[in-house]
Amino acid sequence: MTRIGFIRHGITDWNVEGRVQGQTDIPLNEAGRKQAYALADRLKGEEWDLIYSSDLSRTGETAEIVAKALGLPVRTDIRLREMHCGEVEGTTPEERIARWGKDWKSLPLNIESSASIVDRGLSFVFYLLDNHAGSSVLVVSHGALVRLTLKVLIPHVDTKERLRNASITTLAHLNGSWDCALYNCAKHIF
């Protein structure tokens, strides 16, 4: 059995402001660091073999905090980056409406497609299954990438709920099928 723990990074100032981060490299804020430490404390009693992270600083810092608590190294993979949000990166909902109108989502604003995000996510998951079969792997990534990848892997689970910052979702892969033991759990966040 291969087990994957998908973690969304801790909160950032742009999360608080409602700004689209996308692939803009925004660091954790102090609350995000506290969330990562709370997650690390929670995971101390569990068996994990390795940690992968997106190469963006908000995921990297979350992963490093967890890794230090568990005594594990962090490996990065660019496929785990958040979706590229094109021209909307850095904008608030109000700014998007002011610039492009209420139907801004229908405009060609150079936003990465859901299919592209899923392709990256699944490519990484299949890499884990091929290269770390039988391991328990933590994967620190971003809301859209994790949510869209999970929708494909576990269509029998309701994944509509927005993933919370520093939440963990655990899947087990056995005999070609996926089981979701935990979804969007953030009980460690105060």
Annotated binding residues for substrate: 8-15, 58
Q: How many CA atoms lie within 13 A of 145 on its CB side?
A: 30
Selecting among 61, 82, 89, 112, the annotated active-site residue is 82
Backbone angles phi, psi at 52, to 5 degrees: -115, 150
Backbone torsions φ then ψ of 176, nearest 5 degrees? 80, 5
Backbone angles phi, psi at 43, to 5 degrees: -80, -10
**Is 9 an active-site residue?**
yes
Residue 82 is among the residues annotated as catalytic for this protein: yes
Q: Which residue blocks in the chain are alpha helix, DSSP H?
A: 13-17, 30-43, 57-70, 93-100, 114-131, 143-153
Give catalytic residue positions: 9, 82
